[in-house]
Amino acid sequence: MKYTGLINGFLSVSAALPQEKSSESLPDPRLKDCLNRDISDIVSKQTFEELVRYILSNGDRMTYCNMYNNNPHYDLEGFDVFLNPLSQRLDHLLSCSVSDYDTVVIKDWGSRHTYYEIMLVEGRVYISNPYEVEPAGYENEILTTYIPKLKLLIGLQE
């Protein structure tokens, strides 16, 4: 969340530069510090986009940090879900297009980490841990606490 705009800006600028082929499992080796685990087998691109669509259609808008204002938001059973746009400029346009959002941010004041991120990058879904907090516990909380509730929200049974 803290680095999402920076990462997206960097990727946009660097897209025109020649890229070396990498055998890394991440789509771009420069992202490996914040993308911890590919969970596309658990949350597909289609599921991610359906969640974004649901929040845009059924949620409201709320500011949760200084970087973005008036983000799409959904209050879900004790935690909040926000959408971050691909670009900070899109936020001001109040975009309602699913393709304009690449990050789902979960904010849970009652949890150990408060913020959790799931990102869609090049058609794959990743757990993002920009704060580098204990990866095992962070990933486990996303996979066991939040993903099942998000799937139920959009009508997918666990």
Can you spell out the DSSP letters for 95-158?
---GGGEEEEEEE-TTSSSSEEEEEEETTEEEEE-TT---HHHHHHHIIIIIHHHHHHHTT---
* pTM (2 d.p.): 0.75
- Tell me which residue has tokens 């909040």: 80
Taking only the tens of pLDDT, the chain with its 158 residues reads: 555 555 555 555 455 444 443 434 545 554 555 677 899 999 999 999 999 999 999 999 998 887 777 889 999 988 999 998 876 655 445 567 888 889 999 999 888 888 899 999 999 999 988 777 777 788 889 999 999 999 999 998 65
Q: Of all residues in the chain, what percent are helix, strand and coil, respectively (each to 5)?
A: 35, 25, 40
Q: Where are the domains of the chain?
A: 4-11+26-153
